[in-house]
Amino acid sequence: MSKDLSNRKICIIYTGGTIGMVPTEDGFAPKRGFFEAELGRIKDLSSPKMPSWDLIEFDPLLDSTNMEHIHWNQIAEAVGERYYDYDGFVILHGTDTMAYTASALSFMLEGLEKPVVLTGSQIPLCELRSDGVDNIITSIQIAAEGVVKEVCLFFGDSLIRGNRAMKNSADGLLAFTSPNYPPLAKIGININYTAEGVSGSRRGGSASGFHVQKIDKFRVGVIKLFPGIHFGMFAPIAEEGVDGLILEAFGAGNIPSYDKSLSPVIDKAIEKGTSVIVCTQCPQGTVALGAYEAGSALVKAGAISGFNMTTEAAVTKLAYLLSLNKTQKEIRILMETDLRGELDK
Ligand code: ASP
């Protein structure tokens, strides 16, 4: 039995993505006004048990591949401007970078005490068998129920914490996973919130209520290690002085020891003020820096452990901390601290 949510009010923010795309000569692309018309065709949306809702449509609508931090700022501001007018927010977004946006928003929406649910679809609403209808209806219900008061992502059959999400399938309908944290809810006949998932919810970032922190520093790089890598190739990155560098290392945070160019490159980067964070390429498990001799050079160089953060979480958290103008020393402490439920030590 679905709950009566008719006394709740939800804001739907449509940013683009497959869900509202139409076929064009060059493949699927978003089209202004089309999504609103498609919503009008979804009968469940006008059920007397559904919350009332308003739609905000972004201009331009984006394939999420084109999302940049300026768009995260736009989404965060769209929520911020309407924060006190609604019980919850549903953000419709392309699946390709949805996990990054969800993670970024989890940091940017400081002191959040309402549900912000990201969703989308693998099949456009205009096509047969679209997964968009169920994803939208369920996300609106979750946003209206208000059990989970954080940035989360609903897709297929699972509600997961935004900063734990990873896209794990390019074409499956269960396209997202949260390998290091239990789902916040599993969706079958009912929406079953899990005590385990929901209990770890962590608000924070603002001592004085809700606040939007924009991202305005985003000179961040990611290097994925592979067998045979020589770090000398990446020396220009250290020279140019990116503000943050994420190394996706092997296993528990291991790097090859055959390559003597690593230490000077990392040393130089850190000396120039770059924060170097080590994540693991394994979707599951955590970085244990220094557990193996093969990772000890990173410890000596002063790299920061990303523990079990996804790369999506590490990139966006780093951008958030840089935008807060934290010093390199503060970034070290905060990157290794659980701010919004994004890591376990
Ligand atoms: N390329 C699309 C996007 O991320 C894919 C999708 O929405 O599923 O916008």
Residue range 223-237: mean pLDDT, rounded: 88
135 lines ligand 1 (CB under 6 A): no
Structure tokens at 81: 């401007």
94 lines ligand 1 (CB under 6 A): yes
Cβ neighbours of 326 (radius 10 Å): 17
Would you call 18 a catalytic residue per the annotation? yes
- Residue spans of the domains in the chain: they are 9-212, 220-335
Supply the pLDDT for residue 257.
84
For 324, residues 6+ apart whose C-beta sits below 8 A from its C-beta are 213
pLDDT band at 4 (very low <50, low <70, confident <90, very high): very high
Write down the pTM of the prediction.
0.96
Chain centre to alpha carbon of residue 252: 23
Residue 47: left (phi > 0), alpha (psi -120 to 50), or beta?
Answer: beta
Structure tokens at 259: 């390559």
Would you say the CATH fold of 220-335 matches that of 9-212?
yes
pLDDT single digits (tens) 272-306: 899 999 999 999 999 998 777 777 888 888 899 99
Residue range 231-258: mean pLDDT, rounded: 87
**What CATH number should be reported for the domain whose range is 220-335?**
3.40.50.40
Instruction: Say how many CA atoms lie within 13 Å of 245 toward its Cβ.
Output: 30
Q: Say which CATH topology domain 9-212 has.
A: Rossmann fold (3.40.50)
Supply the pLDDT for residue 141.
98
Pocket test for ligand 1, best of 22, 28, 65, 127 (most atoms within 8 A of CB): 65
pLDDT single digits (tens) 30-84: 999 999 999 999 999 999 999 999 999 999 999 999 999 999 999 999 999 999 9
How far apart are alpha carbons 98 and 336 in whole angstroms? 24
User: How long a stretch of residues is the chain?
Assistant: 345
Supply the pLDDT for residue 208.
78
pLDDT single digits (tens) 100-109: 999 999 999 9
- Average per-residue pLDDT for the chain: 93
